[in-house]
Structure 1
Amino acid sequence: MKHVQVLPRPGRHGRSALLGATLLATAFALASPTLADSIPVEILDPGLQVTTVLNTGLSQPMGIIFLGPDDFLVPEKGSGQVKRVTNGVVLPAPVLDLPVNSSSERGLLSLVLHPDFPATPYMYAYWTESSTGADSTAINEVPLLGNRVDRFVWNGNSLVFDRTLQRLRSRQTDNVETPGHPGTANGGEFGNHNGGVMRFGPDDKLYVFMGDQGRRGWLQNLANGPFLTAPLLDDTFGGPAPDTAHLAGVILRLNDDGSTPADNPFFASGAAIGGEVGQNIQKIFSYGHRNGFGMAFDPVSGSLWESENADDAYSELNRVIPGMNGGWIQLAGPLSRVANWKLIETTQFNRALQQVRYPPTRSVYTASLATSRMVSLPGAIYRDPELSWRYEIGPSGLTFVRDDSLGNANSGTLWMGSARAFSQVGGTGGSVYRIRLTADRLTVDTSADPRLADRVADNLFRASKFDGTESETLLIGRGFGVTPSIEQGPDGNLYVVSLSDNAIYKISPSP
């Protein structure tokens, strides 16, 4: 029995349906729930050590939420359960059990505490609802708006449903041809690019990363959608304007009750547009994103950082500013590399950008053309990534070390996990990275490797990608598997959650 209030299935807004995708590029979806990584876990800094906190009683863990020094919660992707661990023991009854659809990248994806917890006893879950009322792995058993952000009340023993803050796209039926556009059906239905990571900022606002869901509209920098002739829409549910079915590829900024802050960057322009589209635009903090599994706020500057996965070329690490346009789908990586990005996407790997409606052959070769084609909401600012990798490296969970608990050399550093295990892709799969910022905290400090002066790691071609060339000074750990979450605990140590190992590891100072 699933213990949650599930609201009625959302309506279709008077539209018909369709969605799809191609191959999953980098996703924790493919991680086995029983397969530990195939190389030993190790930390490469002699001043640090790695130990196993827990490797029994968990199935596909996605995060770690501390209630106290020896008391934490662990959300599980496939079971939809939130398990409580006290003194190293997984309690027999979950504190929450949601009816999730966990096909592909769906499931229970994140859980965060209210910034004033426990005085304000709220927790927030991002999860994909099963349309059957029970856990499901069937690709089509999900509502159109199956991705939910819900608020729960912690009563000391369990999580009790309070309200739904946001419903987002989940069903991708692009295997159905779009009327008026013959030959636009993808090969199958997909369940990827849900994003799912959430963070509260130093401003006490809730930031929600929503992947692009394979959409091809305004928020993917296509003003008229993917088609060259009428009807100019995205899919059979509408678009290309960001109605609720096309609010994707964004970071949303919400008040803790789900309402929209009046100081959001596009609040005024959304008000001028009005209606459902205008209300959605008001919620946007940044757009033009593909998909990602990591967000973290710099404890020094307060800036938001985000990791973003590539299709095949130019995975990214971004410092996100209010009103940022990340540039997708006009390009990935820096503007100076747009021609190389197009070359890789049109000649190597699967030569597609997920949707057959907008192939990479339609993209441009020059930076000026790429920027001229972007959809610029009033006040929007395009920004290059602070660091990118020529071939996909699979960035995942992010966290900052907020103090000197791991030594002065690690204070203020940014740690990043991997979206694929070594057992899946070899190379640098399952790696953990340590990234230093410049003194002004505005970008990545590349002084340890002159090859990174252009802020691009020109790693080499591998059929399975994940080559580590020019990342040698960033690599800090191996063998961690798929790591959707890295968190600093109350004791100052880092806790690395491994989805594929069904384990939680601790990185602490060497004795």
Structure 2
Amino acid sequence: MHFKLVTTLITVLGFLACDTPELNNSDQPTTKAVTAELVTSELANPWGMTFLPNGDILVTEKSGAIVRVSNGEVVNKDVKGGPNAISRGQGGLLDIELHPDFESTKWVYFTFASDEGEGSGAMTALSRAQWNGESFDNHTVLYKGSPNTRAGQHFGSRIAFDNDGYVYFSIGDRGNRDNNPQDITRDGGKVYRLHDDGRIPTDNPFVSIDGAKKAVFSYGHRNPQGMAKNPMTGDIWAHEHGPRGGDEVNIIGKGKNYGWPVITYGINYSGSKITDEQAREGMEQPVTYWVPSIAPCGMAFVSNSKYTGWDGNLIVGSLKFSYLVRLVIEDDKVVKEEKIAEGIGRVRNVEMGNDGYLYVGVEGKGLYRLLPE
């Protein structure tokens, strides 16, 4: 593939301000620099992306279009047959993910803001459709949060599959932190788990509780906009936006409460306190967190990659500071953290391509591939 090379060398520099110690294994070989190579600039807000077996990339635009990129060229700006997303505030067409057995099933999954159902406004939905080689057939909504709300913030949302074929997706608290995240009878501020066809697993944690949302797998979340399976352990990891400070990375556990807004390392945007508590019994602590906020969006575990010493690392995008973060993980703990691709722009998404390279969606700039030095 022939892409336009961005001439600025984007070096791996410095450590971020959070409580993660430096890696002691100093003789571990690591990639010291990456170069951002522009794949295409014909994307406005590339919210999600997924890679077809032939190397083509399906990219979701927040405005509602699905774009197909082949060999660095946009070959279809509006792939038909996907969701009818409502672009509202932070909502729109959000994530996209292939079924783990895509070669056989051809199913592709989406999260998006939908105005169907109870109430005015919109709420996050999960759907799937079958890829026919050019467009989608058989689009079906699998789960729709309710009720709709006219709030414009905190739709989430990301999608991931575990080793058993369950599909996980997130819905943010929709700006209603006092009611949604801690209440399992309400949608919002949750991570959900379903069978791939939308059925609710009988071993979901709240299926036997009267009035509970049976699809809920974990709760107490604010606005999760990153989710990925750790290929080393099979666990589902997620990150979420804090308010002013308190962005978190978490390992998602069955029935666990991640504390928002009862506990947080963040404060209100005005500078006032949300709570005096940063920990409470029965509520999970993050793997790591950021103060000040980096505004995380998109995440990917490095695997089968071209980056020396990076396999098993977690890559997180920063909307606020226009870089990515490389987290070195050992025994489910962050032992080193450093910035990469500084100055690349507002990172909306990062994914591992099936060619061994990281791909980065950047608001207002397009799609990049990171090449190791």
TM-score higher than 0.5: yes
Q: Equivalent residue of 1:118, what SS?
A: helix
Equivalent residue, structure 2, for 1:509:
372
Which residue is 1:25 aligned to?
none
Does residue 44 of structure 1 match 2:23?
Answer: no
The CA deviation string for residues 229-258 of structure 1, in whole angstroms up to 9 with x for no partner, is: xxxxxxxxxxx662xxx3110000010111
After superposition, residues 166-185 of structure 1 pair within 5 angstroms as: 166-169=143-146, 171-173=148-150
**Equivalences for residues 272-351 of structure 1 within 5 A:** 273=210, 277-278=211-212, 280=213, 282-333=214-265, 341=266, 344-345=267-268, 349-351=269-271
* Residue aligning to 1:202: 163
CA distance change for structure 1 residues 209 and 410 in 2, over 3 Å: closer, same or farther?
same
Q: C-alpha displacement at 1:475, in angstroms?
A: 1.1
Q: Which residue of 2 aligns with 1:152?
A: 129
Residues 287-308 of structure 1 show CA distances to partners (whole Å, capped at 9, x for unaligned) of 0000121111110111121111
1:388 matched to which residue of 2? 289
Q: How has the CA–CA distance of structure 1 residues 85 and 390 changed in structure 2, closer, same or farther, with 3 Å as cutoff?
A: closer
Q: Which residue of 2 aligns with 1:75?
A: 60
Aligned to 2:140: 163
2-structure distance, mates of 1:101, 1:156: 25
Tell whether the 8 Å contact from 1:169 to 1:213 is kept in structure 2 after alignment. Answer: no
Distance in structure 2 (CA, Å) of the matches to 1:114 and 1:165:
14
Q: TM-score, normalised by structure 1?
A: 0.63
2:68 to 69, 81, 84: 84
Deviations 1:258-289 (A, max 9, x none): 11112222333x3xx1xxx23x1x21111000
Aligned equivalents of 1:399, 1:49: Cα separation in 2: 16
Flag the 1:104–1:93 CA change in 2: closer, same or farther, 3 A.
closer
Q: Which residue is 1:489 aligned to?
A: 353
Separation in 2, partners of 1:47, 1:69: 30
Q: Does 1:260 align with 2:165?
A: no
Gaps of 5+ in 1: 1-38, 132-141, 174-189, 222-239, 334-340, 353-359, 372-380, 421-428, 447-472
Separation (CA, whole Å) in 2 of partners of 1:367 and 1:67: 42
1:95 aligns with 2:69: no
Asked if 1 retains the 8 angstrom alpha-carbon contact of 2:160 and 2:236, the reply is no
Matched, 1:60 2:60: no
How far 1:144 moved relative to its partner? 4.6
Displacement of 1:418 in angstroms is 1.1
List per-residue Cα deviations over 1:121-167 (Å, max 9, x = no partner).
Answer: 11111111357xxxxxxxxxx94554221111111110123321011
**Is 1:430–2:318 an aligned residue pair?**
no
Q: As a proportion of its length, which structure holds more strand?
A: 2
Secondary structure at the aligned position of 1:119 is classed as helix
CA gap 1:474/1:258 in 2 versus in 1, 3 angstroms: same
For the pair 1:413 / 2:277, whether they are aligned, the reply is no
TM-superposed CA distance for 1:52, in Å, is 2.5
Larger radius of gyration: 1
TM superposition shift of 1:58: 1.9
TM-score under structure 2 length normalisation? 0.85
Correspondence for 2:302:
401
State how far apart, in whole Å, the 2-side matches of 1:87 and 1:476 are.
25
- CA–CA separation in structure 1 for the residues paired with 2:345 and 2:200: 37
Partner Cα distance (2:313, 2:184) in 1: 39
Matched residues, number: 347
Matched, 1:443 2:333: yes
Q: Alpha-carbon deviation of 1:101?
A: 2.3
Q: Where does residue 248 of structure 1 map in the other structure?
A: 188
- Alignment gaps of 5+ in structure 2: 1-6, 14-30
Identity of aligned residues (%): 29
For residues 366 and 433 of structure 1, do their structure 2 counterparts lie closer, same or farther at Cα, with a shift above 3 Å needed? Answer: closer
1:387 positional shift = 0.8
More helix, by proportion:
1
Distance 2:250 2:189 in 1: 14
Task: State the alpha-carbon separation in 2 of the partners of residues 367 and 494 from structure 1.
Answer: 34
